[in-house]
Structure 1
């Protein structure tokens, strides 16, 4: 169980901000706690995306989530990217900034994928030093997210959870724990996902991700194009028991449903949190509620018991 002396910057239950929902959010102002924005979509000044982001950020807390920092690469850090990142951060004032503990580029070529790292002491030191540079430049702590993976390295000398924990400790950064990614990797690499949860320091975890995936039987792919499945909800409950009230959001990047359906799914996350952590003061402050849409579409869905 979570140590009661450990506290987190809890901001409630949020959704990934997607273009499909821009108009709905501004027109209906749903009672939602926060939105996560994909950093790379807003690094260019002006245009409709920035207009909508700035309008929504005036009404809701936001966090920034990136996919291009390539914190684990041996390429030099992209200072132009970091300057744009800092500029956007200064303009929209996010609660925090996150990216992935992975590499995406080599020799200046971007793979446009989140590629896993070898889990070694050498890599821990390499990544931690780069995280420190980024944190000093941004003037704030960075959150690192665990990625889903489909291969492993023969050179690895530790488990993924030990690697993530050591980087966070060495760099003094925080963790965005993706519950779906843990499940996907556990299936692909044949480990117990509870071992992962139990080895992560609760003091480092600042945010949860929930998402759906594609289950092909012998392997699982992190596709973000399905509802959160029962297996991930179950793991989410175990994560709540381990870490306490952690800011939680749902990712959906394809087959994106109408906003009321996403809102309903987020209500399920809050419902599970309420059942797992009864009488929790943080969760009780959340704006999320069954009638928080004032929209008849929401009545077509029911929160699962």
Structure 2
């Protein structure tokens, strides 16, 4: 049998597995009334299944609303989080907030919550088995899905072809847990700054002190790229400086920021003079 990944086939099997093994599920997305309908139907079908959820109609660019949603998810402690907010919103939301989610697995669901609520009908098995589920969905929702299937799919195939021809091999990087990142010793930052002078003196893309500071903190393991993106987003909304946002989020303390600011200024001076840092300063770094 040819292997296919379709939520039409996957969700019943997944829910049945969770039901029998006591795993909990959290649904994030859809309209409030559709979410309630999905939860009601699932609880009726799987009485002892641990289910909870939150609708997807909140401002994803509002830090306070995001924190409230994340707090609710973490309070439920689900084994599986299914995010059904549509592409690419759901993927971006997961990318920005996955480090703060206390879950074992995260799945992008698209319109799966609407399907579970009975608002969107599943594709007939006959069409699904011959690979025409996309055509069924297009006929059901032509206005919403025409651009995706008639233009998006060919564009995707073209991008894959270009990547195979000209792209470099993918690299898999290990992501450290937040607890380890936050407990990084000061020695890590010392080693980084002393070993990375060449990297910064050869870079032409870093042009400001704050950019130097953020890159230095990331490479030292004291700040993640995800945290930086969240902080920059909140900075634009609040008008605060980047270091003020980092302090407010309690990701860094004032002493650490001042320490790195001092070293970045020294680094900038060295770059502008075209000379290397003094031996004594390098030892301090």
So what's the TM-score if we normalise by structure 2? Answer: 0.29
Q: Which has the higher contact order (CA 8 A, sep 6+)?
A: 1
Structure with greater helix share of residues: 2
Structure with greater strand share of residues: 1
Report which of the two structures shows the higher radius of gyration computed on alpha carbons: 2
